[in-house]
Amino acid sequence: MAKRSKKSHDPRAGRSAAGPPANAFGMEDTAEAHSLFGDLADDVASAEASYRAGIAAGERDLGVAWIGRHAGRLGRKPEARGYLVCKRGLVHCLVATGRLTEALAACEDLARLDAVDTTTARFVHLDILMTLGRFDAARALCAARADEPYSGWDYARALIEFADAGDGAESRRLLAAAIDANPHVPRLMLSGEQVDRDLTLVTIGEEDEAALYVRDSRGVWLDVPGAISWLRAVTGTVVDLTAKPARAPRGAMLDALAALPQDEAEEWQMHLGHDPGAGWSFHVVSALDGRMITVDASARKPRAEDLWDTLSTAMRFPREGEPRRPARVAMRPGAFPATWAKRFQRIGIRQEFRGALTELDRALADVDERIAAAERARAEEEDDTFDPAAVAAALAALPQEPGAIWEADLRHAPAWVTGEGEPYRPWIALVASRTHDHVLVPDITTTRPDDGHLVRLVLRAMREAGIRPERLEVADADVAARLAAALAPAGIPVSPAAALPVIEKMTETLATAMDGPDTLRPLAGVPGMTDALQRGLYAAAAEFYRARPWRKLPSDMPLDIHRPDGRLVHAVVMGQSGVQQGLAIYEDAKTLAAALRGDEQAAAKSTSLAVMFGEAFEISARDHDAIDRQGFDIAGPEAWPLVIRMEPGFATRPPLAWEVELITACLREVVTRVLNTAR
């Protein structure tokens, strides 16, 4: 690949450095003036009217014959600048209102008139070809721009190949070439971060060039089924669901911490450790009783602010007990930033440095021993000489606890694991005593274990407890039959059960610990939520996604929809900007107006409902389970619907049952209107 220049420029700049004529503001019926009015218009319809007026003015002032005589060279004629800019503006309006066939014809006309493409319409031309599935034409357009250093062409080639032929050697080769041209694009593309809408000068191969490409082309990536998931999987881009878009002001947060109750006897001991094989871990232990206050693990070294967020969250949202702050924090010298001293002082916590942290070391040693014991037991069970039938027969001699009921189950973990590449949900295998209300043997694996693994865990639980249960219950009838045969030598009957209360309680506790306090509660757990309501919602969401109304409706065009009780709500389709696809629903006109004008202060005081489409890991793990278990309709890899109610202060919650009915009705109404418009 030829070496790329680092010269700063904007490959998509639409105006020349000179800009419109100085007297354009006074020329109300010129192409230059109408292009400016179109750029400043408040809505798509007004912009389109201005651009069409500018085209008419340009044809009148320049003359149709003159335009035809200079076709192909108009970009080199300064007097034609306003006319060409109006034509490009019209293309954007046609795209925004879903008239892609007209937009494509307008792009082809621009290319005929301006062969050097001074208005850079080639980029929207490429996007239209991709959206319409005209991949050969898109490849030809990329080939015609092979000499341009802009890395957007490299990513476009990779996307075209994936859209046309799927994941394969060629699409991966092209993606590797694109990453070589600009390695910053995948992270920005996958993060969903807002990028500067007013980028002008950029540097080839650098982050600002990546931001320009993501700003203008993320919508096309979202519109190619599976493209975003493919990019994430191939590049191994790490997802961090715990990252927050913005933190509360530090002073306000410190004041909130300082107001928490404090026990003069309580000391917390902290440790930041690194294991080359396991990554980084941050532990906070109570010196009073050795309880683990909080644990955070990551593949990469955590930032100081991330550690502080973990610590402050442990104070505000403890796993056990009421919110509180310790009287002292103890740590080893040099382990944490020196700047924390002022923060601890401000919130009334004494900071102490010690070489030995007895309670913390004891807790960590206990964790290490439990991990080592589990690994030894697993190695023993996976040994080729391990005979479950023989072990079960030997354990038949153990005393049987009268009335003892045990539970066993294999299930997905109730939360997503991120920070290790592509997000995933581990499998947990559990054996619990219902009689004594505690878990006997837990085990976590990255892949689904077989039934034999569950048999071995039950045998281990008996050996460690020194007793046999009177009965073992599992959730699945087929699994119960297979376990019954395997455990018959131990004299343990196995039966299916409608509920496993101890395992369910442990799963809920694990979900709370893994999710954290800011995680949206599952829709499936909302009081009054039924399978029928959820099935209707997911079916309507899938139909909405497949209709792709963001291709046909402008983002500033609210749709008035009557609720079943006759009241009016206002729906706005999201997706035209390429940032978030979905539907927002506002219950009053003032809230809608504030949202359309981007008034964040008003938005912070308002309420709304929304359906936003994303990848599977963006929804609750428990909702993911419900969708999988019930076979609800999902339209694609990036079409998993996250359904929320936005409350004042940007707080979120899952919608109530009646709100789900309203969202479902709005999704269906939008699809009906879009289909009727298409006809």
Q: What value does the mean pLDDT take over residues 94-112? A: 91
Q: What value does the mean pLDDT take over residues 149-172? A: 93
Helical H runs in 597-651? 600-604, 621-630
Helical H runs in 467-620? 477-487, 501-515, 531-547, 589-596, 600-604
Q: Among 179-183, 301-305, 466-470, 670-674, which is the least confidently predicted range?
A: 301-305
The rounded distance, in Å, linking the Cα atoms of 403 and 307 is 47
Please determine, looking at this structure, whether the domain spanning 387-515 carries the CATH number 3.40.225.10. no
Whether the pLDDT of residue 600 is over 50: the answer is: yes
Q: What value does the mean pLDDT take over residues 564-583? A: 84
Who contacts 132 (Cβ-Cβ below 8 Å, separation ≥6)? 100, 101, 104
> Over the range 107-119, which residues count as b (16 or more CB within 10 Å of their CB) and which as e?
beebbebbeebbb
Helical H runs in 402-549? 451-465, 477-487, 501-515, 531-547
The rounded distance, in Å, linking the Cα atoms of 146 and 168 is 22
Whether the pLDDT of residue 308 is over 70: the answer is: yes
Q: Are 205 and 151 in contact (CB under 8 A)?
A: yes
Q: Taking Cα atoms as reference points, which of 461, 635, 460 lies closest to residue 542? A: 635
Q: Measured over all CA atoms, what is the biggest interatomic distance in the chain, rounded to whole angstroms?
A: 103
With vertex at residue 510, the alpha carbon angle to CA 417 and CA 290, rounded to the nearest 5 degrees, is 110
In 239-278, at which residue ranges do the beta strands (DSSP E only) sit? 262-275
**What's residue 542's pLDDT?**
96
**What's residue 409's pLDDT?**
93
Phi-psi region of 522 (alpha: psi -120 to 50; beta: other; left: phi over 0): beta
**What's residue 334's pLDDT?**
80
With vertex at residue 623, the alpha carbon angle to CA 617 and CA 627, rounded to the nearest 5 degrees, is 100
**What's residue 377's pLDDT?**
59
**What's residue 383's pLDDT?**
52
Q: Which two tokens stand for residue 372?
A: 């080592």
Residue pLDDT, tens place only, 472-501: 999 989 999 989 998 999 999 999 998 999
Q: Which two tokens stand for residue 465?
A: 């407890």
What mean pLDDT, rounded, does the chain reach?
83
Q: Which two tokens stand for residue 634?
A: 């999902």
Q: Among 101-115, 197-211, 543-557, which is the least confidently predicted range?
A: 197-211
Q: What is the DSSP letter of 73?
A: B
Amino acid found at 677: T
Residue pLDDT, tens place only, 45-81: 899 999 999 999 999 999 999 999 999 999 999 999 9
Q: What is the DSSP string of 113-144?
A: HBTT-TT-THHHHHHHHHHTT-HHHHHHHHHH
The rounded distance, in Å, linking the Cα atoms of 111 and 125 is 9
The rounded distance, in Å, linking the Cα atoms of 487 and 475 is 16
Q: Are 354 and 330 in contact (CB under 8 A)?
A: yes
Q: In CATH terms, are 8-235 and 387-515 the same topology? A: no
Q: Which two tokens stand for residue 471?
A: 């009965």
Q: Are 108 and 75 in contact (CB under 8 A)?
A: no
Q: What are phi and psi of 336, to 5 degrees?
A: -130, 160
Whether the pLDDT of residue 20 is over 70: the answer is: no
The rounded distance, in Å, linking the Cα atoms of 487 and 459 is 8
Residue pLDDT, tens place only, 239-296: 655 444 344 456 777 888 898 999 999 999 998 888 776 678 888 998 888 888 888 7
User: Hey, what CATH topology would domain 8-235 get?
Assistant: 1.25.40
Whether the pLDDT of residue 613 is over 90: the answer is: yes
Q: What is the CA radius of gyration of the chain?
A: 31
**What's residue 612's pLDDT?**
93
**What's residue 576's pLDDT?**
75
Residue pLDDT, tens place only, 439-459: 888 888 888 888 888 888 899
Q: Which two tokens stand for residue 499?
A: 């509920």
Inter-CA distances, 569 with 194, 586, 605, Å: 28, 6, 18
**What's residue 609's pLDDT?**
92
Instruction: Tell the burial category of 236 from Cβ atoms under 10 Å away from its Cβ (0-12, 13-18, 19+).
Output: exposed
Q: Taking Cα atoms as reference points, which of 369, 418, 420, 410 lies closest to residue 507? A: 410
Residue pLDDT, tens place only, 351-386: 999 888 888 888 888 776 766 665 565 555 555 555
Q: Are 530 and 507 in contact (CB under 8 A)?
A: no
Higher pLDDT, 639 or 649: 639
Amino acid found at 494: V
The dihedral through the CA atoms of 596, 597, 600, 602 has a sign that is negative
Q: Which two tokens stand for residue 519?
A: 């995680």
Q: Which two tokens stand for residue 497?
A: 């059960």
Q: Which two tokens stand for residue 618?
A: 């963006």
DSSP 3-state assignment of 297?
A: strand
**Would strands 262-275 and 279-286 be described as parallel, antiparallel, or unpaired?**
antiparallel
Phi-psi region of 419 (alpha: psi -120 to 50; beta: other; left: phi over 0): left
| DSSP percent split of the chain into helix, strand, coil, nearest 5 | 50, 15, 35
**What's residue 456's pLDDT?**
87
3-state secondary structure string across 309-369: HHHHHHHHCCCCCCCCEEEEEEECCCCCCCCHHHHHHHCCCEEEECCCCHHHHHHHHHHHH
Instruction: Tell the burial category of 393 from Cβ atoms under 10 Å away from its Cβ (0-12, 13-18, 19+).
Output: middle
Q: Among 90-94, 148-152, 195-199, 673-677, which is the least confidently predicted range?
A: 195-199
Whether the pLDDT of residue 3 is over 50: the answer is: no
Domain ranges of the chain: 8-235, 250-363, 387-515, 523-678
Q: Give the residue carrying structure tokens 């014991």.
A: 373
Q: Which two tokens stand for residue 558?
A: 């609210």
Q: Taking Cα atoms as reference points, which of 397, 307, 290, 392 lies closest to residue 343? A: 307
Q: How many Cβ atoms from other residues are within 10 Å of residue 286's Cβ?
A: 18
DSSP 3-state assignment of 464?
A: helix
Per CATH, the number for 250-363 is: 3.30.420.10
**What's residue 13's pLDDT?**
45
> Over the range 395-414, which residues count as b (16 or more CB within 10 Å of their CB) and which as e?
beeeeebeebbbbbbbbbbb
**What's residue 617's pLDDT?**
87
Q: How many Cβ atoms from other residues are within 10 Å of residue 136's Cβ?
A: 10
